[in-house]
Structure 1
Amino acid sequence: SIVLVLCISALPSFSQGRVVREDESGFAECNAFFAGRVPPDGFAEPFHVKICQHFNKEPRFATLYSTRDKIPLYSAFKYSKPAPGEEEQWLVEPQLDDPDSALREMVREADVAGTVANLGASQALSSDYVDSGYERGLLNPGLLHEGDFQVAAYTLTNAVPLSPSLSQSWHRDVARVVEQALAPHCSQTDALFLVAGAIPSSVRVKGRVSVPESLWLAACCDAPRGWSLGLLKTPSDENGLADLTVKELEKRLPAGANLFGSSCGGDTQSPEAAEAALQAVRQIHSGQRQGEQDSSLVRKVLGVIATPFVKLLELLVSVLVGLLKLVLYFLWLLTKRVAGAALDGVCSLWDGLVSYLKAIGTVLLSIPCDVGRVLVNICLGFLQILQDLTSLTYRILSIPVGFVLHLAAFPYRSLCAIPSVLRDAAAGIGGTVSLLLDATAALVHGFCYLAALVGRRVVPRVSSDE
């Protein structure tokens, strides 16, 4: 924040809005904007703050600001010279919200966001006017000034919420009256003191900023043959501008209000000069009203004449709009179809590309697996060959061992086999003898049987022959 303060202070053309201390007299150096250097009386409230508006290190006008209503109660200034409006650069006063702020000058709201404590607690901000239906109307219109005086007028401490039409009429009427009536009827232009103010109401923008119930302007020509007068504008009569004496105007203000007192010429005021200035104001206002009436009549006549052409033009416009809608709808459908086809093609291409990449990825991933599988098979083959060689070697080495073992066991097995062989031989011989006996017996039996059979055959035949 210190760097920000230094950067802002270094700007060559910067608006300073110094809050006047209580121990200072009036508005300090801005007392020069009041007749006789005496500010108005009757506006002493705890929530009223005096501001001496500066620009380029010079005082430009004075403002009494209400921190409760968050609008200026009045701004005192001098008429300099009218000029076209420049670019608006709205500023805020940091000291209103933070008396301890190191910023002793007005700054752009965006430049101090987050650096000033309670910003907006005692003054209006630009955000209060956003989407509110109200404009920032200047009590001290920038159109009455040129150069630095005009730039200094665009501060939120000099603005009140006004409807767009009321803001336009206020700036227009005040500029015309001051430029065409008041200034020409003051023998010394530098002696024309102006105080523009607003009377707060209970209506508030976004619950914060008071909407004025009326606007007023008090003028004092503090010169030989001087004069003073007042003007009042109400929202109910946006195009009207009531002319009053200063005393009559003070009755519309808070009780005890005294705008000029004896500071505006005193007994040296000229009633004739005041009347002349007042007549000039009324002439401007009546001429404005007449011009508005004439323009209204002309507008009515032109409206009657132009109505058929306007209707025909509206018909043609509606037909053209309809054709344009059809063309746009056709183009939209065509674009939609083309975009859909293109999108489908892109999607198909994308799907094919994804599938191709997926297949390539699968093949690439399978290559290491196949290589690993081949290597494993090769290793298994080598192991099998090694196993076979080992088995063959074992078998080759095991033949002599078996032969030696069998040869060493031959005597033992031969001796052990002799009893078995003798037993088997005896059994064989016994069997052979038994077989011979059985064969002999069977042969004898056979012969006996044969003899018996022959005998039975022969003996009966002999018997029969006998």
Structure 2
Amino acid sequence: MQLFFFTVLLVLGFPFIMTEVVDSFSQCSGFFFEGEPPKINDILERSISLDNDRYKLICQKYNGTKRYATLYDIKNKIPVFSAYTYTGGGQKKNKTRKWMIEPQLEMTDEMREPCVSQACTQDYTNQSNLSRGHLFPKSYAADKDTAKSTFTLTNAVPQIESFNSGSWSNMEKKVKNEMDSHCKKDNSMILAYVLTGAVPSQNKLMKEKVNIPSHMWTAFCCYNITSQKWVAQAHWAENIDESNGKCKTISEKSLKDLQDFLKINYKETILFKDQCLEMLNAHVSQPLEADSDDQQYDEEQSLLAFLISLPAKVWVGLRNYKYEFVWTLF
């Protein structure tokens, strides 16, 4: 039956990625900080899906190697999050690639239409204002095969095109630069644990099938060699149109801020362990001591106050002394 289903997918033109739908994220725990996936109330706990009929655990595998992990919601047909490690580098833009699907999500003993449990390429056709928004961005991939593996629709959500190419893209570039600069276990090795996810909307659907998220979010945790501490940084933003030219700035937030925000939809949410609660603020500098300009200004103000306090007859004397001094120079 499985072989028949794969054959049907190929005949219908559905490229697929040979990933693994698993019972526990312990099979690809290396993509999570200290091997522990997030805890999401009534959804995910201790690496196990609490509702396996809806939330599927995927170890995204490509060319024989596990590349990242995804928690996928087959009801909304979008991922809850993708988890991955950032190790520097990143792939530049190249030719457009075909998007793949996950065949194991469609396995059934009954004959039915493909892509019942996930989004397909056809769902995105004729959607001028929506794009396939990567959770694990191709630009964060360390090598070409990992970059190719990100082109699966289990790693994408319907994202407003102007938002995807606008403020969200700008934030991704900024975060990438900050991880390059601050996430080093030693002087050369870059390593950050990253989670990127989407908050499903209440009733906005693409083609009456695929949920269009209300918000996107991302967070990373890494060891900062300068402070010698584990630090984190988080971002989230509303998935709205930015075509009016007013591209918003997505400000960095703490991990606690993001977890509090996610409680609105998921109640209790713990993304990383407590070691990651300290926020990385790459823009904060140490307070500077008063420099010579400040000291000179204070001295000038003191001298001015002294001169103003002098009586008029002293000023007359100083003026006569000035003329005599100038005359002696000649």
TM-score, structure 2 as length reference: 0.68
Alignment-derived partner of residue 420 in structure 1: none
The answer to whether the 8 Å contact 2:38/2:269 transfers is: yes
Partner secondary structure for residue 63 of structure 1 = strand
- The gaps in structure 1 that reach 5 residues or longer are 102-115, 281-466
Q: Percent identity?
A: 27
Alignment-derived partner of residue 257 in structure 1: 269
Task: Name the CA distance, whole Å, in 2 between partners of 1:5 and 1:128.
Answer: 20
Alignment-derived partner of residue 140 in structure 1: 136
The answer to whether the 8 Å contact 2:5/2:107 transfers is: no
Amino acid at match of 2:64: K
Matches within 5 A, 1:2-401: 2=3, 15-21=17-23, 24=24, 27-42=25-40, 43-44=43-44, 46=51, 47-80=54-87, 81-86=89-94, 87-98=96-107, 117-133=112-128, 134-145=130-141, 146-169=143-166, 172-188=169-185, 189-201=189-201, 202-222=203-223, 224-236=228-240, 239-253=248-262, 254-262=266-274, 265=275, 274-277=279-282, 279=284
Amino acid at match of 2:268: G
Which structure shows the bigger proportion of residues in helix conformation? 1
Partner secondary structure for residue 76 of structure 1 = strand
1:47-83: per-residue Cα shift (whole Å, max 9, x none)? 1111110111111111111111100111111124222
Amino acid at match of 2:200: P
What is the Cα deviation at residue 213 of structure 1? Answer: 0.7
Task: Name the CA distance, whole Å, in 1 between partners of 2:78 and 2:6.
Answer: 26
Alignment-derived partner of residue 322 in structure 2: none
Task: Name the CA distance, whole Å, in 1 between partners of 2:280 and 2:147.
Answer: 30
Partner secondary structure for residue 193 of structure 2 = strand
Alignment-derived partner of residue 297 in structure 2: none
1:223-263: per-residue Cα shift (whole Å, max 9, x none)? 6422012111213475321321111101221111110123x
Partner secondary structure for residue 123 of structure 1 = coil
What is the Cα deviation at residue 278 of structure 1? Answer: 5.8
Amino acid at match of 2:21: V
Task: Name the CA distance, whole Å, in 1 between partners of 2:251 and 2:37.
Answer: 24
TM-score, structure 1 as length reference: 0.49
State the aligned residue count: 252
Task: Name the CA distance, whole Å, in 1 between partners of 2:63 and 2:235.
Answer: 32
Which structure shows the bigger proportion of residues in strand conformation? 2
Partner secondary structure for residue 195 of structure 1 = strand
What is the Cα deviation at residue 176 of structure 1? Answer: 1.2
Q: Which 4+ residue blocks in structure 1 deviate beyond 6 angstroms?
A: none
The answer to whether the 8 Å contact 2:26/2:35 transfers is: no
Matches within 5 A, 1:419-434: none
Task: Name the CA distance, whole Å, in 1 between partners of 2:123 and 2:91.
Answer: 29
Task: Name the CA distance, whole Å, in 1 between partners of 2:133 and 2:154.
Answer: 11
Distance 1:208 1:231, change over 3 A: same
Amino acid at match of 1:62: A
Task: Name the CA distance, whole Å, in 2 between partners of 1:100 and 1:36.
Answer: 38
The answer to whether the 8 Å contact 2:214/2:238 transfers is: yes
Larger radius of gyration: 1
The answer to whether the 8 Å contact 2:78/2:157 transfers is: yes
Higher relative contact order (CA 8 A, sep 6+): 2
